[in-house]
């Protein structure tokens, strides 16, 4: 058991949905010095970035309203974790000593180098700085000018829907099926709403080239585009790789089922940038917040000298917003595969706003008021097919 008079230093890297929950939850012990490192001085509601671009909602909240008073906020970017000296190196040149790190760096856009012009002419929307540039560019585009949204996943659909409600002319290009992680009935519901609201969809066709004023498809079609928005795919920051920690092929930190790095038991991960047992969960706020709570609990258990719990995880649903008045809520099996049951229309739109968008902020504030208040499990069930700890041999690249 750790001496309760000793101070344990925990550095939480990343102040998003997972990191904010973890930082607040660590306050269950009074002998922890908690430092939250984040590149922005405000919390970014990434799930509202499409609304921010369309100027229908703001996407930042002051950390003063979200974090417990004893959480120290350091506005900086972590560039390397020196595991030998237990120090986090920051972009400013400063370093932070740690006993434990909660690795919650999140995800970012993945701009394909294989598509000529994509990096030069397309606008990503995955981060706040991306959204600010896109919002500024959108303001210079005439109201009736054609806009192409590349990506038929949830982010692309929500972005297209929000802009269409503003009277914009939108085409969605999807390399696979539209809303591919939804069931056929739910996909048809989404496609019907998009069509009724003037959004043209080209699915199962890839982009060959992005030009300043057009998008060229693999089938030879050329779509005029005064502004091209790229939402196809996500990546993760390279912090783990730069720090010499083992990752999966995308760069997510490899951990066991307690979310502990397989290379260093002083590093515990949560959110989009973690691959428990080499099998990452869907990148989502739905997963990030319980993982943040789980990561904090793992650190607390190690400080106390007890055995951390293994990940308890199951998805039950996924919600999609369609503008300000509608949505689709797709139910799923615990392994995140869809079932034929869904809710659509205004009811689903209300669920998306109250539970999917406003709910995570309420969760962070609840954990700030009463650390340990939120459950770590998601849905019902456990990843019973995986061991509590996976051997290094199993996870060798």
What pLDDT digit, counting tens, does each position of 260-290 carry? 999 999 999 999 999 999 999 988 988 999 9
Once rounded to an integer, what is the mean pLDDT over residues 190-216?
97
Is the pLDDT reported for residue 386 higher than 50?
Answer: no
30 pLDDT exceeds 90? Answer: yes
Tell me what pLDDT residue 377 has: 59
Query: What is the C-alpha to C-alpha distance for residues 240 and 67, in angstroms, rounded to an integer?
Result: 25
Task: Note the pLDDT tens digit of each residue in 227-236.
Answer: 999 999 889 9
Confidence class for position 391, pLDDT limits 50, 70, 90: very low
- The whole-angstrom separation of Cα 170 and Cα 162 is 10
CA–CA distance, 185 with 391 (Å, rounded to integer): 41
Q: What is the pLDDT of residue 5?
A: 61
C-alpha–C-alpha distance, residues 306 and 303, integer Å: 8
* For range 300-314, the mean pLDDT: 92
Instruction: For each of the domains in the chain, give its residue range(s) and CATH number, in order of start.
Output: 114-232 (3.50.50.60)
C-alpha 111/C-alpha 101 separation (Å) is 29
Q: What is the mean pLDDT of the chain?
A: 92
Token look-up 């939804």 returns 182
pTM for this predicted structure: 0.92
């Amino acid at each position: 058991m750790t001496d309760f008079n000793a101070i344990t230093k925990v550095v939480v890297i990343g102040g998003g949905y997972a990191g904010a929950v973890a930082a607040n939850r660590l306050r269950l012990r009074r002998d922890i010095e908690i430092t939250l490192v984040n590149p922005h001085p405000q919390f970014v509601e990434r799930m509202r970035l499409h609304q921010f671009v369309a100027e229908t909602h703001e996407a930042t909240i002051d950390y003063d309203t979200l974090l417990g008073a004893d959480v120290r906020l350091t506005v900086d970017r972590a560039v390397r974790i020196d595991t030998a000296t237990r120090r986090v190196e920051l972009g400013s040149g400063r370093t932070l000593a740690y006993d434990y790190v909660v690795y919650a760096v999140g995800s970012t856009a993945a701009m394909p180098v294989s598509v000529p012009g994509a990096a030069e002419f397309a606008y990503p929307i995955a981060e706040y700085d991306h959204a600010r540039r896109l919002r500024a560019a959108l303001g210079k585009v005439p109201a009736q000018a054609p806009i192409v949204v590349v990506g038929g996943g949830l982010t692309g659909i929500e972005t297209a829907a929000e802009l269409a409600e503003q009277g914009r002319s939108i085409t969605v290009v999807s390399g696979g099926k539209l809303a591919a992680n939804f069931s056929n009935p739910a996909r048809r519901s989404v496609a019907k709403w998009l069509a009724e609201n003037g959004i043209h969809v080209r699915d199962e066709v890839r982009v060959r080239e992005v030009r300043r004023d057009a998008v060229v498809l693999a089938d030879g079609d050329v779509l005029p585009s005064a502004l091209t928005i790229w939402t196809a795919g996500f990546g993760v920051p390279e912090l783990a790789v730069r720090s010499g920690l083992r990752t999966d092929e995308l760069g997510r930190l490899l951990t066991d089922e307690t979310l502990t790095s397989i290379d260093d038991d002083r590093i515990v991960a949560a959110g989009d940038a973690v691959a428990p047992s080499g099998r990452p969960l869907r990148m989502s706020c739905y997963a990030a917040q319980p993982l943040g709570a789980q990561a904090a609990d793992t650190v607390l258990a190690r400080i106390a000298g007890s055995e951390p719990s293994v990940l308890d995880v199951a998805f039950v649903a996924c919600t999609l917003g369609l503008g300000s008045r509608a949505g689709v809520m797709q139910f799923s099996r615990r392994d995140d595969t869809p079932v034929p049951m869904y809710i659509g229309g205004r009811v689903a739109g209300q669920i998306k706003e109250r539970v999917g968008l406003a709910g995570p902020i309420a969760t962070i504030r609840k954990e700030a008021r009463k650390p340990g208040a939120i459950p770590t499990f998601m849905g019902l069930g456990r990843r019973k097919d995986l061991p509590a700890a996976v051997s290094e041999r199993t996870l060798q690249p």
